[in-house]
Structure 1
Amino acid sequence: MADELLHLTRLPDAEREQFRIAMNLLFTEGFLVRSIDSHERAYRFVVANLDLCEAYLAFAGWGLRRDESLGVIAFEGPAAARLRLRKIESIIALIARLLYEEKAGEIELHGERTVRRHQIQDRYRALTKSTLKKTPFLAILRRLQSLRLIRLVGDDNDPDATVILYPSLAFALDAQTIEELEARLAELADGAPVGAVATAGDPGDDADTDDDLDDEDDTVDDADEEE
Protein backbone atom coordinates (compact mmCIF):
# COMPACT_ATOMS: atom_id res chain seq x y z
CA MET A 1 0.00 0.00 0.00
CA ALA A 2 2.80 2.42 0.88
CA ASP A 3 4.40 1.99 -2.54
CA GLU A 4 1.12 2.69 -4.30
CA LEU A 5 0.46 5.79 -2.22
CA LEU A 6 3.98 7.00 -2.92
CA HIS A 7 3.30 6.43 -6.61
CA LEU A 8 0.25 8.69 -6.29
CA THR A 9 2.45 11.63 -5.29
CA ARG A 10 4.56 11.08 -8.40
CA LEU A 11 1.75 11.04 -10.93
CA PRO A 12 1.98 13.60 -13.72
CA ASP A 13 -0.39 16.52 -13.26
CA ALA A 14 -2.81 15.30 -15.94
CA GLU A 15 -3.09 11.83 -14.37
CA ARG A 16 -3.39 13.27 -10.88
CA GLU A 17 -6.28 15.40 -12.11
CA GLN A 18 -7.92 12.33 -13.65
CA PHE A 19 -7.47 10.50 -10.35
CA ARG A 20 -9.14 13.39 -8.51
CA ILE A 21 -12.07 13.38 -10.94
CA ALA A 22 -12.51 9.61 -10.63
CA MET A 23 -12.48 9.65 -6.84
CA ASN A 24 -14.88 12.60 -6.71
CA LEU A 25 -17.32 10.78 -8.97
CA LEU A 26 -17.15 7.67 -6.83
CA PHE A 27 -17.61 9.61 -3.61
CA THR A 28 -20.51 11.73 -4.89
CA GLU A 29 -22.31 9.27 -7.18
CA GLY A 30 -21.38 5.86 -5.81
CA PHE A 31 -20.74 4.28 -9.21
CA LEU A 32 -18.63 4.69 -12.29
CA VAL A 33 -20.66 3.46 -15.25
CA ARG A 34 -18.75 3.01 -18.49
CA SER A 35 -21.81 3.68 -20.65
CA ILE A 36 -22.32 7.15 -19.10
CA ASP A 37 -20.37 9.61 -21.23
CA SER A 38 -19.27 11.74 -18.28
CA HIS A 39 -17.98 8.62 -16.49
CA GLU A 40 -16.14 6.86 -19.30
CA ARG A 41 -12.70 8.45 -18.88
CA ALA A 42 -12.79 8.08 -15.11
CA TYR A 43 -13.92 4.46 -15.43
CA ARG A 44 -11.04 3.61 -17.76
CA PHE A 45 -8.56 5.44 -15.53
CA VAL A 46 -9.61 3.39 -12.50
CA VAL A 47 -9.42 0.11 -14.45
CA ALA A 48 -5.93 1.02 -15.67
CA ASN A 49 -4.80 2.12 -12.18
CA LEU A 50 -6.76 -0.29 -10.04
CA ASP A 51 -4.01 -1.04 -7.49
CA LEU A 52 -3.42 2.66 -6.91
CA CYS A 53 -7.12 3.45 -6.46
CA GLU A 54 -7.68 0.46 -4.17
CA ALA A 55 -4.69 1.41 -2.00
CA TYR A 56 -5.94 4.98 -1.66
CA LEU A 57 -9.43 3.85 -0.62
CA ALA A 58 -8.14 1.07 1.65
CA PHE A 59 -6.28 3.69 3.68
CA ALA A 60 -9.73 4.99 4.74
CA GLY A 61 -11.29 1.54 5.11
CA TRP A 62 -13.05 1.50 1.74
CA GLY A 63 -12.71 -0.75 -1.28
CA LEU A 64 -13.85 -1.24 -4.85
CA ARG A 65 -16.08 -3.72 -6.64
CA ARG A 66 -15.96 -3.97 -10.39
CA ASP A 67 -17.57 -5.95 -13.15
CA GLU A 68 -16.01 -5.23 -16.50
CA SER A 69 -18.67 -7.23 -18.32
CA LEU A 70 -21.28 -4.80 -16.98
CA GLY A 71 -18.92 -1.83 -17.13
CA VAL A 72 -19.51 -0.78 -13.52
CA ILE A 73 -17.16 0.12 -10.68
CA ALA A 74 -18.63 0.71 -7.23
CA PHE A 75 -17.63 1.34 -3.64
CA GLU A 76 -17.39 -1.25 -0.93
CA GLY A 77 -17.68 0.35 2.46
CA PRO A 78 -19.05 0.18 6.00
CA ALA A 79 -22.68 -0.51 6.83
CA ALA A 80 -23.15 3.10 7.89
CA ALA A 81 -22.63 4.13 4.28
CA ARG A 82 -25.56 2.09 3.01
CA LEU A 83 -28.28 3.83 1.10
CA ARG A 84 -31.70 4.23 2.69
CA LEU A 85 -34.81 4.32 0.55
CA ARG A 86 -38.46 4.65 1.42
CA LYS A 87 -40.39 1.45 0.82
CA ILE A 88 -42.17 2.89 -2.20
CA GLU A 89 -38.78 3.89 -3.67
CA SER A 90 -37.50 0.39 -3.02
CA ILE A 91 -40.45 -1.08 -4.92
CA ILE A 92 -39.82 1.15 -7.95
CA ALA A 93 -36.09 0.36 -7.83
CA LEU A 94 -36.82 -3.37 -7.74
CA ILE A 95 -39.25 -3.02 -10.65
CA ALA A 96 -36.52 -1.26 -12.63
CA ARG A 97 -34.08 -4.04 -11.71
CA LEU A 98 -36.59 -6.70 -12.79
CA LEU A 99 -37.17 -4.94 -16.11
CA TYR A 100 -33.40 -4.67 -16.58
CA GLU A 101 -33.13 -8.44 -16.17
CA GLU A 102 -36.04 -9.11 -18.51
CA LYS A 103 -34.47 -6.91 -21.19
CA ALA A 104 -31.29 -8.99 -21.21
CA GLY A 105 -32.43 -11.08 -24.17
CA GLU A 106 -33.60 -8.17 -26.31
CA ILE A 107 -31.68 -6.22 -28.91
CA GLU A 108 -30.39 -3.09 -27.17
CA LEU A 109 -30.31 0.41 -28.65
CA HIS A 110 -26.71 1.65 -28.52
CA GLY A 111 -26.02 -1.10 -25.98
CA GLU A 112 -28.58 0.30 -23.52
CA ARG A 113 -31.57 -1.45 -21.98
CA THR A 114 -34.60 0.81 -22.10
CA VAL A 115 -38.26 0.80 -21.09
CA ARG A 116 -41.14 3.21 -21.40
CA ARG A 117 -42.11 5.13 -18.31
CA HIS A 118 -45.61 3.67 -18.32
CA GLN A 119 -44.16 0.14 -18.18
CA ILE A 120 -42.84 0.86 -14.69
CA GLN A 121 -46.21 2.31 -13.71
CA ASP A 122 -48.01 -0.72 -15.15
CA ARG A 123 -45.85 -3.10 -13.11
CA TYR A 124 -46.45 -1.06 -9.98
CA ARG A 125 -50.21 -1.11 -10.57
CA ALA A 126 -50.27 -4.86 -11.19
CA LEU A 127 -48.25 -5.47 -8.04
CA THR A 128 -50.00 -3.15 -5.59
CA LYS A 129 -53.47 -2.77 -7.16
CA SER A 130 -53.04 0.98 -6.87
CA THR A 131 -51.72 3.74 -9.10
CA LEU A 132 -48.76 5.88 -8.16
CA LYS A 133 -49.57 9.53 -8.79
CA LYS A 134 -47.58 11.29 -11.48
CA THR A 135 -45.81 13.84 -9.27
CA PRO A 136 -44.42 11.40 -6.64
CA PHE A 137 -43.69 8.86 -9.39
CA LEU A 138 -41.50 11.35 -11.24
CA ALA A 139 -39.84 12.35 -7.96
CA ILE A 140 -38.91 8.71 -7.33
CA LEU A 141 -37.56 8.31 -10.86
CA ARG A 142 -35.45 11.46 -10.43
CA ARG A 143 -34.14 10.06 -7.14
CA LEU A 144 -33.06 6.86 -8.89
CA GLN A 145 -31.55 8.97 -11.67
CA SER A 146 -29.51 10.94 -9.12
CA LEU A 147 -28.18 7.60 -7.85
CA ARG A 148 -27.06 6.70 -11.39
CA LEU A 149 -29.40 3.71 -11.55
CA ILE A 150 -31.49 5.03 -14.44
CA ARG A 151 -31.65 7.99 -16.82
CA LEU A 152 -34.83 9.77 -17.86
CA VAL A 153 -35.24 10.83 -21.48
CA GLY A 154 -38.08 12.92 -22.86
CA ASP A 155 -40.94 15.02 -21.56
CA ASP A 156 -42.20 14.63 -18.00
CA ASN A 157 -45.79 14.52 -19.25
CA ASP A 158 -45.19 11.74 -21.77
CA PRO A 159 -45.95 8.25 -20.40
CA ASP A 160 -44.12 6.82 -23.43
CA ALA A 161 -40.92 8.67 -22.53
CA THR A 162 -37.84 6.47 -22.37
CA VAL A 163 -36.13 5.31 -19.19
CA ILE A 164 -32.58 4.02 -19.67
CA LEU A 165 -31.78 1.24 -17.20
CA TYR A 166 -28.14 1.38 -16.18
CA PRO A 167 -26.15 -1.77 -15.34
CA SER A 168 -25.50 -0.25 -11.90
CA LEU A 169 -28.97 -1.61 -11.05
CA ALA A 170 -27.39 -5.06 -10.99
CA PHE A 171 -24.88 -3.82 -8.39
CA ALA A 172 -27.29 -1.92 -6.18
CA LEU A 173 -29.87 -4.71 -6.11
CA ASP A 174 -28.09 -7.99 -5.79
CA ALA A 175 -30.95 -10.41 -6.50
CA GLN A 176 -29.90 -12.33 -9.58
CA THR A 177 -32.92 -14.16 -11.00
CA ILE A 178 -36.28 -12.90 -12.17
CA GLU A 179 -37.95 -15.28 -9.72
CA GLU A 180 -35.96 -13.87 -6.79
CA LEU A 181 -36.76 -10.30 -7.80
CA GLU A 182 -40.46 -11.10 -8.13
CA ALA A 183 -40.46 -12.73 -4.69
CA ARG A 184 -38.80 -9.71 -3.07
CA LEU A 185 -41.27 -7.37 -4.78
CA ALA A 186 -44.21 -9.43 -3.54
CA GLU A 187 -42.84 -9.33 0.01
CA LEU A 188 -42.43 -5.56 -0.11
CA ALA A 189 -45.89 -5.06 -1.58
CA ASP A 190 -47.35 -7.21 1.21
CA GLY A 191 -45.69 -5.02 3.82
CA ALA A 192 -43.01 -7.48 4.90
CA PRO A 193 -39.91 -5.81 6.43
CA VAL A 194 -37.64 -6.73 3.53
CA GLY A 195 -34.55 -4.65 2.78
CA ALA A 196 -34.61 -3.90 -0.91
CA VAL A 197 -31.59 -1.90 -1.90
CA ALA A 198 -27.93 -2.26 -1.05
CA THR A 199 -25.49 0.49 -1.88
CA ALA A 200 -22.47 0.00 -4.01
CA GLY A 201 -20.65 0.36 -0.72
CA ASP A 202 -22.12 -2.74 0.85
CA PRO A 203 -23.80 -4.96 -1.74
CA GLY A 204 -23.67 -8.09 0.33
CA ASP A 205 -26.19 -6.88 2.91
CA ASP A 206 -29.70 -5.64 2.31
CA ALA A 207 -30.06 -1.97 3.08
CA ASP A 208 -32.67 -0.67 5.45
CA THR A 209 -35.88 0.83 4.17
CA ASP A 210 -37.76 3.62 5.86
CA ASP A 211 -41.00 1.67 6.09
CA ASP A 212 -42.29 3.95 8.82
CA LEU A 213 -42.57 6.78 6.33
CA ASP A 214 -46.13 7.13 5.07
CA ASP A 215 -46.32 6.29 1.37
CA GLU A 216 -50.09 6.03 1.12
CA ASP A 217 -50.57 9.66 0.07
CA ASP A 218 -48.54 8.93 -3.05
CA THR A 219 -51.02 6.37 -4.39
CA VAL A 220 -54.65 6.14 -5.40
CA ASP A 221 -56.87 3.13 -5.84
CA ASP A 222 -57.29 1.92 -9.40
CA ALA A 223 -60.84 3.24 -9.36
CA ASP A 224 -59.56 6.78 -8.76
CA GLU A 225 -58.12 9.07 -11.36
CA GLU A 226 -54.35 9.52 -11.55
CA GLU A 227 -53.13 12.96 -10.69
Structure 2
Amino acid sequence: MKMVNLERNRLSAYVQAQIKQFFPLDDQADLALIDAHLDEALQRVGRCIDQVRMWTPGQFDVLHSSQYCIFLYYLSNTIWRREKVRGVCTKLFLLNKALNAIDCFYEIELPEVFFIGHSVGIVLAKASYGNHLVLYQNSTVGKNHGDAPVLGEGVIMYPNTAIIGRCQVRDRSIIAQGVSVINRDTEPASIAYQGHGGSLVFKPPGHDILADFFRDV
Protein backbone atom coordinates (compact mmCIF):
# COMPACT_ATOMS: atom_id res chain seq x y z
CA MET A 1 0.00 0.00 0.00
CA LYS A 2 1.28 3.45 -0.94
CA MET A 3 1.47 6.00 1.85
CA VAL A 4 0.91 9.69 1.16
CA ASN A 5 2.68 12.48 3.09
CA LEU A 6 4.73 10.07 5.21
CA GLU A 7 6.82 6.97 4.51
CA ARG A 8 5.99 3.74 6.32
CA ASN A 9 9.32 3.64 8.19
CA ARG A 10 8.54 7.03 9.74
CA LEU A 11 4.92 6.31 10.68
CA SER A 12 5.71 4.57 13.96
CA ALA A 13 7.87 7.49 15.10
CA TYR A 14 5.17 9.92 13.97
CA VAL A 15 2.48 8.22 16.08
CA GLN A 16 4.79 7.93 19.06
CA ALA A 17 5.71 11.62 18.81
CA GLN A 18 2.01 12.54 18.84
CA ILE A 19 1.43 10.42 21.95
CA LYS A 20 4.41 11.97 23.73
CA GLN A 21 3.19 15.45 22.84
CA PHE A 22 -0.33 14.88 24.16
CA PHE A 23 0.59 12.64 27.10
CA PRO A 24 4.05 13.62 28.41
CA LEU A 25 4.23 10.84 30.99
CA ASP A 26 7.18 8.75 32.07
CA ASP A 27 5.53 5.39 31.26
CA GLN A 28 6.58 5.23 27.59
CA ALA A 29 8.08 1.72 27.57
CA ASP A 30 5.14 0.09 25.80
CA LEU A 31 5.33 2.47 22.82
CA ALA A 32 7.58 -0.08 21.11
CA LEU A 33 4.41 -2.15 20.58
CA ILE A 34 3.30 0.44 18.02
CA ASP A 35 6.14 -0.52 15.70
CA ALA A 36 5.71 -4.22 16.43
CA HIS A 37 2.07 -4.24 15.29
CA LEU A 38 2.14 -1.44 12.73
CA ASP A 39 2.15 -3.67 9.64
CA GLU A 40 -0.95 -5.60 10.71
CA ALA A 41 -2.77 -2.36 11.43
CA LEU A 42 -1.78 -1.06 7.99
CA GLN A 43 -3.08 -4.24 6.38
CA ARG A 44 -6.40 -3.76 8.13
CA VAL A 45 -6.76 -0.11 7.17
CA GLY A 46 -5.67 -0.98 3.62
CA ARG A 47 -8.51 -3.48 3.23
CA CYS A 48 -10.92 -0.85 4.45
CA ILE A 49 -9.61 1.88 2.13
CA ASP A 50 -9.69 -0.45 -0.88
CA GLN A 51 -13.42 -1.03 -0.43
CA VAL A 52 -14.49 2.61 0.02
CA ARG A 53 -15.62 3.87 -3.35
CA MET A 54 -14.62 7.51 -2.84
CA TRP A 55 -11.07 6.65 -1.75
CA THR A 56 -8.14 5.69 -3.99
CA PRO A 57 -7.44 1.95 -3.64
CA GLY A 58 -4.01 1.07 -2.28
CA GLN A 59 -3.34 4.56 -0.96
CA PHE A 60 -3.32 5.68 2.69
CA ASP A 61 -3.02 9.39 3.42
CA VAL A 62 -2.03 10.07 7.02
CA LEU A 63 -3.32 13.64 6.65
CA HIS A 64 -6.76 12.42 5.58
CA SER A 65 -8.56 12.71 8.91
CA SER A 66 -11.08 9.90 8.38
CA GLN A 67 -8.43 7.47 7.13
CA TYR A 68 -6.09 8.35 9.99
CA CYS A 69 -8.97 8.02 12.45
CA ILE A 70 -9.68 4.49 11.20
CA PHE A 71 -5.97 3.67 11.30
CA LEU A 72 -5.62 4.75 14.95
CA TYR A 73 -8.59 2.55 15.87
CA TYR A 74 -7.15 -0.46 14.02
CA LEU A 75 -3.73 0.11 15.60
CA SER A 76 -5.11 0.27 19.14
CA ASN A 77 -7.42 -2.70 18.54
CA THR A 78 -4.64 -4.78 16.97
CA ILE A 79 -2.31 -4.17 19.90
CA TRP A 80 -5.11 -5.00 22.33
CA ARG A 81 -5.93 -8.24 20.49
CA ARG A 82 -2.30 -9.37 20.45
CA GLU A 83 -0.91 -8.03 23.72
CA LYS A 84 -3.79 -7.11 26.08
CA VAL A 85 -1.75 -4.10 27.20
CA ARG A 86 -3.91 -1.19 28.29
CA GLY A 87 -1.34 1.59 28.56
CA VAL A 88 -0.47 2.20 24.91
CA CYS A 89 -3.98 1.23 23.77
CA THR A 90 -5.48 3.84 26.07
CA LYS A 91 -3.09 6.49 24.76
CA LEU A 92 -4.02 5.64 21.16
CA PHE A 93 -7.71 5.80 22.08
CA LEU A 94 -7.22 9.20 23.71
CA LEU A 95 -5.10 10.42 20.79
CA ASN A 96 -7.89 9.53 18.38
CA LYS A 97 -10.36 11.31 20.64
CA ALA A 98 -8.17 14.42 20.80
CA LEU A 99 -7.44 14.58 17.06
CA ASN A 100 -10.74 13.39 15.60
CA ALA A 101 -13.33 13.88 18.38
CA ILE A 102 -14.40 10.22 18.25
CA ASP A 103 -15.08 7.99 21.24
CA CYS A 104 -14.16 4.52 19.97
CA PHE A 105 -12.61 2.28 22.61
CA TYR A 106 -9.91 -0.18 21.57
CA GLU A 107 -11.84 -3.20 22.92
CA ILE A 108 -14.72 -2.58 20.50
CA GLU A 109 -14.69 -4.95 17.52
CA LEU A 110 -15.52 -2.86 14.49
CA PRO A 111 -15.84 -4.71 11.17
CA GLU A 112 -13.22 -5.39 8.53
CA VAL A 113 -14.73 -2.72 6.28
CA PHE A 114 -16.38 0.48 7.50
CA PHE A 115 -16.51 4.12 6.47
CA ILE A 116 -16.40 7.31 8.53
CA GLY A 117 -17.72 10.38 6.76
CA HIS A 118 -16.89 12.86 9.50
CA SER A 119 -15.66 11.59 12.86
CA VAL A 120 -16.68 14.54 15.04
CA GLY A 121 -19.03 13.49 17.83
CA ILE A 122 -19.19 9.76 17.01
CA VAL A 123 -19.65 7.64 20.17
CA LEU A 124 -19.55 3.85 19.89
CA ALA A 125 -20.39 1.43 22.70
CA LYS A 126 -19.39 -2.21 22.97
CA ALA A 127 -22.05 -3.53 20.64
CA SER A 128 -22.16 -5.95 17.69
CA TYR A 129 -21.23 -4.32 14.37
CA GLY A 130 -21.75 -5.87 10.93
CA ASN A 131 -19.51 -5.33 7.93
CA HIS A 132 -19.84 -2.33 5.58
CA LEU A 133 -20.87 0.04 8.36
CA VAL A 134 -21.24 3.76 7.54
CA LEU A 135 -20.90 6.40 10.27
CA TYR A 136 -21.37 10.16 10.10
CA GLN A 137 -20.86 12.95 12.61
CA ASN A 138 -22.73 12.85 15.92
CA SER A 139 -23.89 9.27 15.44
CA THR A 140 -24.15 7.24 18.64
CA VAL A 141 -24.38 3.55 19.40
CA GLY A 142 -25.07 3.00 23.08
CA LYS A 143 -26.28 0.61 25.75
CA ASN A 144 -29.45 0.95 27.81
CA HIS A 145 -29.54 -0.82 31.19
CA GLY A 146 -26.77 -3.11 29.97
CA ASP A 147 -28.50 -4.04 26.70
CA ALA A 148 -26.41 -3.37 23.59
CA PRO A 149 -27.63 -3.10 19.98
CA VAL A 150 -26.86 -5.61 17.26
CA LEU A 151 -26.10 -3.96 13.92
CA GLY A 152 -26.36 -6.13 10.82
CA GLU A 153 -24.49 -5.86 7.55
CA GLY A 154 -24.50 -2.58 5.65
CA VAL A 155 -26.00 -0.29 8.29
CA ILE A 156 -25.82 3.43 7.49
CA MET A 157 -26.02 6.03 10.25
CA TYR A 158 -26.44 9.54 8.90
CA PRO A 159 -25.61 12.64 11.03
CA ASN A 160 -27.19 13.06 14.48
CA THR A 161 -28.55 9.52 14.69
CA ALA A 162 -28.64 7.13 17.63
CA ILE A 163 -29.08 3.40 18.09
CA ILE A 164 -29.59 2.67 21.77
CA GLY A 165 -30.41 -0.39 23.83
CA ARG A 166 -32.05 -3.65 22.82
CA CYS A 167 -32.15 -3.15 19.05
CA GLN A 168 -31.86 -5.50 16.10
CA VAL A 169 -30.76 -3.20 13.30
CA ARG A 170 -31.20 -5.45 10.33
CA ASP A 171 -29.09 -5.71 7.20
CA ARG A 172 -28.95 -2.60 5.02
CA SER A 173 -30.92 -0.51 7.47
CA ILE A 174 -30.46 3.21 6.84
CA ILE A 175 -31.04 5.56 9.77
CA ALA A 176 -32.10 8.93 8.38
CA GLN A 177 -30.60 12.13 9.73
CA GLY A 178 -31.73 12.98 13.26
CA VAL A 179 -33.49 9.66 13.91
CA SER A 180 -33.16 7.73 17.17
CA VAL A 181 -33.72 3.97 17.33
CA ILE A 182 -34.23 3.07 20.98
CA ASN A 183 -35.07 -0.42 22.22
CA ARG A 184 -36.67 -1.49 18.97
CA ASP A 185 -35.88 -3.27 15.72
CA THR A 186 -35.62 -1.98 12.17
CA GLU A 187 -36.78 -3.42 8.89
CA PRO A 188 -34.10 -4.70 6.51
CA ALA A 189 -33.20 -2.77 3.35
CA SER A 190 -35.25 0.22 4.48
CA ILE A 191 -34.76 3.83 5.52
CA ALA A 192 -35.91 4.56 9.08
CA TYR A 193 -37.60 7.94 9.49
CA GLN A 194 -38.91 9.49 12.69
CA GLY A 195 -42.68 9.13 13.01
CA HIS A 196 -45.15 10.62 15.49
CA GLY A 197 -44.69 10.04 19.20
CA GLY A 198 -41.26 8.52 18.80
CA SER A 199 -42.39 5.84 16.38
CA LEU A 200 -40.41 4.85 13.31
CA VAL A 201 -41.54 4.81 9.70
CA PHE A 202 -39.78 2.54 7.21
CA LYS A 203 -39.57 3.16 3.50
CA PRO A 204 -37.53 1.41 0.78
CA PRO A 205 -34.65 3.44 -0.68
CA GLY A 206 -34.87 4.63 -4.26
CA HIS A 207 -31.59 2.94 -5.15
CA ASP A 208 -28.82 0.88 -3.58
CA ILE A 209 -27.39 3.56 -1.30
CA LEU A 210 -24.79 1.22 0.17
CA ALA A 211 -23.21 0.83 -3.27
CA ASP A 212 -22.57 4.58 -3.24
CA PHE A 213 -20.11 3.96 -0.40
CA PHE A 214 -18.50 0.57 -1.07
CA ARG A 215 -17.17 -1.27 -4.10
CA ASP A 216 -18.13 -4.87 -3.31
CA VAL A 217 -21.58 -4.96 -1.74
Normalising to structure 1: TM-score of the pair? 0.28
Instruction: Judging by fraction of residues, say which structure has more strand.
Output: 2
Q: Higher helix proportion, which one?
A: 1
- Structure with higher Rg: it is 1
Q: TM-score scaled to structure 2, two decimals?
A: 0.29
